[in-house]
Structure 1
Amino acid sequence: MPTEAVQEVIKYAAPTRLPAAPSFVAGIVNLRGRVTPLVRLRELLGVPNGDNDGGDAAGSEDKFIIVCRRRGLQMGMMIERVHTMYRVPQQDIDWAIESHLGISVDFVSGLLKADERLISIVSVDKILDCVLKR
């Protein structure tokens, strides 16, 4: 996720559920007077949780919230952990992944090659658009 979209990373806070919200929206929290929707990033991106008991992964696995602010709106994305933060030159990021892959990539805006790994760069704007549409 681009660092310019990240306001802060905080410890997990239990949200107030919203009855008509899509399943990937965990609910809302009050962060310093701002009502902030929380998104289950793992569910939205379709990443399996590795939990075979069928329980709620959000409460047992998500330990942090990445608070993002885009276009004047604030949103929190629930994550299990922060692996590493990279500061890389723009030329090391491939922003044209859709043209290379020939398919639509819903929430990924770029790829970074670090050593022998490919790291996906999540588009906060695309996630925000998805939350607003539903």
Structure 2
Amino acid sequence: MSVETAKNGEKLELISFEIAGQGFCIDTQSVREIRGWTPPTLMPNAPPYVLGVINLRGVVMPVLDLRARLGFGDTSATSRHVYVVVQQDDRVVGLMVDAVQETFSVDPEMLHAPPRMDYGDAPPLVDAILTLEGRMLSRLVLGSLLPEPAEAPLQAALVAA
């Protein structure tokens, strides 16, 4: 839900987390679970912010270094980091963050549009800024964070045939 489409009177449920000392949040409707860090299996030719894949109860899912994805440099992962497992449409992805802070409800009127900036052809990663108890949180756009899904090699071969 964007700043423009938030309905009056409807509370937004958000979860906040920290990356590189900065506060971020996403809608809780997208969060499936929070999981402790485990080392991922590397994937060749993945974007630099894709750490690899992990097995989540029989489902192999990619995990992203959210610090790197947001342009704050690579994370030196430790057992203190966590994965926020999110679902965007039919895709399940783990977002590695430094720490999860809290879940909370806010009125949509508390969200402010971020300043306009030139992102080139890339979609913006933040759709709202929230000032809460003396701190600022940037609400992330999951669809913009996730890498475009590649076609499975078998599907590509079948289409070409």
Gaps of 5+ in 1: 50-55
Residue 28 (structure 1) aligns with: 53
Q: 1:47 to 1:17 in 2, by over 3 A?
A: same
CA contact (8 A) 1:28 1:38 kept: yes
| 1:104 shift after superposition | 4.4
Which of 43, 64, 70 is the matching residue for 1:18?
43
Gaps of 5+ in 2: 1-25, 151-161
CA contact (8 A) 1:61 1:80 kept: no
Residue 38 (structure 1) aligns with: 63
Aligned counterparts of 1:42 and 1:61: Cα–Cα separation in 2: 16
| 1:75 shift after superposition | 0.5
Aligned counterparts of 2:80 and 2:69: Cα–Cα separation in 1: 14
Q: How many residues align?
A: 121
| 1:132 shift after superposition | 1.2
Deviations 1:71-106 (A, max 9, x none): 111000001111222211222112x32xxx221463
**CA RMSD after TM alignment:** 2.0
**Going by fraction, where is helix more abundant, 1 or 2?**
1
**Does 2:109 match 1:91?**
yes
The residue identity in structure 1 corresponding to 2:41 is T
**Going by fraction, where is strand more abundant, 1 or 2?**
2
Q: 1:109 to 1:28 in 2, by over 3 A?
A: same
